Structure 1
Amino acid sequence: MASETRTVGERGQVTIPKELRERLGIMGGDEVVVREEDGRVIIEQMTVRERLAEGYRARAGRDSQLEREMADVSAEADDDLGDAPEW
């Protein structure tokens, strides 16, 4: 892809060219890493490790919520049905 000139908006925003976003699989809502290196602004996709960590954190939050919901349901079942018999 040839280089393209982009204008920085008043709030510091720059649009990544559509062709580049499509080729790299960057979609709306995705996070990118912005850093400075040797006087240049570098925009990078999050690494696989960062994406995995983010996914695991989100899953842990959902799992914790599910655990709380199941504990409530289990307690309610114990109240209604009593303890399971010992075999």
Structure 2
Amino acid sequence: MRKAFELLIDSGGWVAQTFASAADFLAASRPGCPKCMILDVYLPDLNGLDLRSLIADDRREMPIMFMSGPGDIPMSRR
């Protein structure tokens, strides 16, 4: 899915940067350009909702779209 999103975003003329895990994302340098995050709720090392909590204060300007295969109402409220 990560590669498919990257190809789709690149085909629209934007530059996509993808990460295999929350740790990879947190370790990466932050580009100075406008950005948006498409975040999977189920990541291999850290829950996507917890990652959002970690970056909420530092990256307030970044809109985040959550995606998930399995999901429920309590998760969507969170």
Kindly indicate which of the two structures has a greater share of residues assigned to helix.
1
Q: Give the TM-score normalised by structure 1.
A: 0.20
Higher relative contact order (CA 8 A, sep 6+): 2
Larger Rg: 1
